């Protein structure tokens, strides 16, 4: 049986445009309307009653929750992909602020008050109490880096474990045997999977595992600096440091240089994300590329599919990664 996505592909338009034509939405050209109607007839598309009832209550807006991350370059690149996907989709994006200090605050009530058709969520740990209720509601949700699934909720994340394995392999090939790890909140799938990748990588290469080499902090410049200071105080310093964000890695480089040492001559440092800052930083940062903009694009595409088709199953997407080698890694000192 044909879906609304099949109709959109047949007509060469977005699923939102198909929905608008079906509901006599204004400002649709006669040419576009005819293409959609021809596709509907050709495919014998028959939307179910539930989907039709949802369409009639459309606001054509998608809400996005971002928690304390507007200064993070990851978010800037994520929003580039989000906006690209929304272009010509017929949907507008609104930012939903989270009043976490208000004991009466409710995610779902906030969404209902703004009358959004779907929600994109980034920057919230899976144990956030507000998320327990919202994933059981009828409103479509796509999480980024929060591994929650629900009645109409799915998520997208990178292959975080493999990304760190690639970094460990790279450093091992350069002769590094004492490799430290700077990571962030384990409440996110990214944090947990990257830590597992580090452990797996050390085991794979029979490398020593020191708890003192594992430093936890915020996914920020300051978090990387604080963690690196702790590593610099160790009697047996590592020769290489894997960081779980580009900002953390640059913070680590800052501290290394403050000691009069250099990267990669004295220490090799890797990041994760491949944000623009990794490319323009001196030295250029070796980092795991997870194609952030593409992640934002796909998150919106799947969210719109769930909005447009009440029968569309919430997706769980793991995006492949690759290692970008620049100038922050080099051979281990003899």
Domains of the chain: 4-47 (1.10.260.40), 61-157+291-319 (3.40.50.2300), 160-290 (3.40.50.2300)
Q: How many CB atoms lie within 10 A of CB 214?
A: 16
What is the average per-residue pLDDT within 156-162? 97
Could you give the C-alpha distances from 151 to 87, 95, 133, 148, 311, in angstroms and in order? 27, 23, 11, 10, 11
pLDDT digits (tens, 9 = 90+) for 208-250: 999 999 999 888 999 999 999 999 999 999 999 999 999 999 9
Per-residue pLDDT tens digits for 98-155: 665 566 667 778 888 888 999 999 888 888 777 877 888 889 999 999 888 888 999 9
Between residues 287 and 28, the one the model is more confident about: 287
Position 50 scores a pLDDT of 47
Whole-number percent of the chain with pLDDT over 90: 57
Using CA atoms, how far apart are residues 121 and 109, in angstroms rounded to an integer? 15
Question: What is the pLDDT at residue 24?
Answer: 65
Number of Cβ within 10 Å of residue 48's Cβ equals 12
Banded model confidence at residue 268, pLDDT cuts 50, 70, 90: very high
d(CA 305, CA 50): 15
54, pLDDT greater than 60: no
Q: Which of 69-83, 156-170, 302-316 has the lowest mean pLDDT?
A: 69-83
pLDDT, tens digit (0-9, with 9 covering 90-100), for 190-213: 999 999 999 999 999 999 999 999
Rounded to an integer, what distance in angstroms lies between the CA atom of residue 141 and that of residue 269?
36
pTM of the full structure: 0.81
Least confident of 26-30, 175-179, 314-318: 26-30
Segments of the chain assigned E as strands = 61-66, 92-96, 118-122, 141-144, 153-158, 179-183, 214-216, 240-243, 268-273, 286-289, 316-319, 322-324
């Amino acid at each position: 049986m044909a879906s609304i996505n099949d109709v959109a592909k047949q007509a060469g338009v977005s699923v939102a445009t198909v929905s608008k034509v079906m509901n006599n939405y204004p400002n649709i050209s006669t040419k576009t309307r005819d293409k959609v109607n021809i596709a509907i007839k050709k495919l014998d598309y028959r939307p179910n009653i539930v989907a039709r009832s949802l369409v009639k209550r459309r606001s054509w807006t998608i809400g996005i929750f971002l928690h304390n991350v507007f200064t993070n370059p990851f978010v800037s690149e994520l929003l580039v992909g989000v906006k690209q996907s929304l272009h010509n989709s017929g949907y507008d994006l609104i930012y939903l602020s989270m009043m976490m200090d208000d004991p009466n605050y409710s995610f779902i009530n906030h969404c209902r008050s703004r009358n959004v058709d779907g929600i994109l969520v980034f920057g919230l740990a899976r144990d956030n109490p507000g998320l327990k209720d919202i994933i059981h509601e009828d409103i479509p949700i796509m999480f980024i880096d929060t591994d929650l699934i629900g009645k109409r909720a799915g998520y997208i994340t990178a292959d975080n474990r493999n990304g760190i394995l690639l970094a460990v392999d790279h450093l091992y090939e350069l002769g590094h045997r004492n490799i430290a790890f700077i990571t962030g909140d384990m409440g996110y799938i990214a944090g947990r999977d990257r830590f597992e990748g580090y452990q797996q990588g050390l085991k794979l290469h029979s490398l020593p595992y020191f708890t003192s080499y594992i430093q936890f902090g915020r996914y920020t410049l300051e978090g990387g600096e604080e963690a690196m200071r702790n590593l610099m105080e160790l009697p047996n310093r590592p020769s290489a440091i894997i960081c779980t964000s580009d900002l953390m890695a640059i913070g680590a480089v800052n501290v290394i240089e403050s000691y009069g040492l250099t990267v990669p001559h004295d220490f090799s440092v890797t990041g994760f994300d491949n944000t623009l800052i990794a490319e323009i930083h001196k030295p250029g940062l070796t980092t795991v590329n997870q194609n952030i903009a593409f992640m934002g694009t796909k998150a919106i595409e799947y969210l719109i599919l769930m909005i447009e088709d009440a029968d569309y199953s919430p997706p769980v997407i793991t995006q492949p990664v690759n290692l970008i080698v620049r100038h922050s890694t080099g051979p281990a000192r003899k």
